[in-house]
Amino acid sequence: MKILVTGSNGMLGSDLVQELLAQSYEVCGLGKSRNRHSRISYVQADITNRQSVLESVSRLKPAIVIHTAAFTDVDGCEQDSNRAFSVNTEGTKHVVEASNACGAPLFLISTDYVFDGEKKGLYRENDTPKPISVYGRSKYEAEEFLKSHCRSGWIIRSSWLYGENGKNFFRTILQTATKTRKLRVVNDQRGAPTYTKDLAKGLRMLVEKSNRISGCRVYHLANTGTTTWFDAARKVVSQAGWPVEVEAISSQDLKRPAKRPMNCAFDMSKIKTDFNIELRSWEEAFADYWTESLEKESHVLIASKPSAQAEGKKG
């Protein structure tokens, strides 16, 4: 079965390509820059260009499309809303149209940022989205278009992604922690850091139930358990063993262009009930990410920049 991954060069897209190849699927990719994978067919296309997307997808003839391509810089979206809506909303419309044209079911990867974060409990799939940022609105409008226009399209919302192939919170904390003895990290946003390798595996399992894909459905899928950015940062520092203090601050202290939802915690019982899919805890996933990627990166960082942290570790 041939599966098209849009955004195949991205953080999730890269792990998804590897997960699908490992299970012997025929994989093709679509992205804006040059292909970064071997063993896949690839088209370089800008999803904001309708004609280009229609032609590319009809040439590739996928049986299933997994749409991960997006403008994901949340503050960048706030500062350039034209680009955010053009890529995330209009781009998705083109992918929906192209998937309909070749009869391929579509999985749209969406986000916890479609919610305002005001709910006290866990967000269920049927809670009403109320995005508070341009990024969240642009993704929500993409969801709404898919619901009304896609013959067979499912929306999979995930949260707080990190992985080997992209800029992410844990990596940023590690890099910043080599340069300072004190980090200030927000302690009032709660969510589930999700390892893109785990999400890729969950998506592949969902694809395997593809004989049951019809109509439109929404699912929440992330690593289980929740934390705050502050506690997640403390985990990185403690794994590195560096003498860095992590200070808790509020979102208001950190003046960023885009507002973030305070609560991003998902109820994921629907995907468990329907498909018996449940990702492991975020702590277990992070432990693997540490040994698979960050530990080595921490050694390189220390070696390339003799610092107070290196001194601290010796002592």
Instruction: Write out the two tokens for 177.
Output: 């922690």
Q: How far is the CB of 12 from ligand NAP (least distance, A)?
A: 3
Residue of 42, 123, 135, 219 marked active site: 135
Q: How far is the CB of 182 from ligand NAP (least distance, A)?
A: 25
Alpha-carbon distance values, 58 to 44, 86, 148 (Å): 14, 22, 22
- For ligand NAP, which is the closer residue by CB, 194 or 239? 194
Residues that bind ligand NAP in the complex, under the rule CB under 6 A: 7, 9-13, 31-33, 46-48, 68-72, 87, 91, 109, 111, 139, 158-161, 166
Please say whether the beta carbons of 159 and 194 come within 8 A: yes
- For ligand NAP, which is the closer residue by CB, 45 or 244? 45
- For ligand NAP, which is the closer residue by CB, 200 or 237? 200
Q: How far is the CB of 278 from ligand NAP (least distance, A)?
A: 18
Residue 135 annotated as catalytic: yes
- DSSP character string of 64-117: EEEE------HHHHHH-HHHHIIIIIIHHHHHHHHHHHHT--EEEEEEGGGS-S
Q: How far is the CB of 2 from ligand NAP (least distance, A)?
A: 19
- For ligand NAP, which is the closer residue by CB, 77 or 244? 77
For ligand NAP, the nearest residue by Cβ is 10
Contacts of 207 (CB under 8 A, 6+ apart): 3, 20, 64, 66, 107
Active site residues: 135
